[in-house]
């Protein structure tokens, strides 16, 4: 079956419009290559402070994009690193530590760490903002809370990103 050329030419503007509409809804997320850059930068920082770490990178939905367990990093910290990263993205860019005060006994969000398949409400999970958009989160576990935050932040900065929207 052959269509007349004139008919096909009338479809071009419609197809072009459809393609443009599709592009306006483009999702913004951390890519696998960006996750590797983040992990490399985080590993460099963790090595410099002599703390083996578990480093997880998730997309804005909290799904794992990249992970590395450095040699001798605590096995028990694997799950915590992923949950720290998920916590940062599931609450639109809060760090995992931002929920700490509100999640204590008697506070309004007490027990929140038991939701969403498990969250972490202490430091080590930071959002990844790039170009003003939340593209994912990084979770680091294996050192002290301040070391975990330092390494996670170094990963984001190594990508040229930020850990806050502003």
Would you call 49 helix, strand, or coil by DSSP?
coil
The whole-angstrom separation of Cα 107 and Cα 65 is 33
Domain membership of residue 1 (yes or no) is no
The whole-angstrom separation of Cα 118 and Cα 14 is 46
pLDDT(29) > 70? yes
| Order of all β-strands in the sheet with 133-141 | 64-69, 54-58, 133-141, 125-130
CB of 99 within 8 A of CB of 87? yes
- φ, ψ of residue 29 in degrees (nearest 5): -155, 160
pLDDT(68) > 80? yes
CB of 100 within 8 A of CB of 133? no
In the prediction, which pLDDT does 13 show? 53
Give this prediction's pTM: 0.84
The whole-angstrom separation of Cα 44 and Cα 72 is 15
Domain membership of residue 10 (yes or no) is no
In the prediction, which pLDDT does 11 show? 52
pLDDT(110) > 70? yes
The whole-angstrom separation of Cα 40 and Cα 111 is 34
Q: Residues 142, 74, 94, 86: what is their CA dihedral angle, to the nearest 10 degrees?
A: 160
Q: Which helix (H) or strand (E) holds 119?
A: none
Domain membership of residue 51 (yes or no) is yes
Give the confidence band of 98 by pLDDT, cuts at 50, 70, 90.
very high
Domain membership of residue 32 (yes or no) is yes
User: pLDDT per residue over 113-161, tens digit each?
Assistant: 999 999 999 999 999 999 999 999 999 999 999 999 999 999 999 999 9
In the prediction, which pLDDT does 50 show? 98
Domain membership of residue 164 (yes or no) is no
Mean pLDDT of 56-79: 98
For the chain, where are the alpha helices, taking DSSP H only? Answer: 5-24, 32-48, 77-90, 145-159
Q: Which domain holds residue 55?
A: 27-159
Domain membership of residue 71 (yes or no) is yes
Q: What's the CATH code of the domain at 124?
A: 3.30.450.150
The whole-angstrom separation of Cα 95 and Cα 85 is 9
Number of domains in the chain: 1
DSSP 162: B
């Amino acid at each position: 079956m052959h269509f007349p050329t004139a008919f096909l030419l009338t479809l071009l503007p419609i197809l072009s419009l459809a393609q443009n509409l599709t592009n306006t809804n483009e999702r913004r997320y951390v890519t696998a290559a960006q996750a590797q850059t983040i992990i490399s930068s985080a590993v460099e920082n963790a090595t410099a402070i002599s703390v083996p770490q578990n480093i997880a990178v998730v997309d804005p939905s909290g799904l794992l994009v990249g992970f590395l367990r450095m040699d001798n990093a605590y096995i028990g910290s694997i799950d915590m690193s992923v949950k720290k990263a998920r916590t940062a993205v599931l609450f639109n860019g809060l760090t995992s530590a931002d929920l700490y005060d509100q999640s204590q006994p008697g506070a309004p969000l007490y027990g929140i760490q038991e939701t969403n398949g498990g969250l972490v409400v202490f430091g080590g999970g930071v959002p990844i903002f790039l170009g003003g958009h939340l593209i994912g989160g990084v979770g680091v576990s294996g050192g002290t809370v301040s070391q975990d935050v330092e390494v996670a932040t170094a990963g984001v900065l190594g990508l040229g990103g930020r850990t806050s929207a502003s």
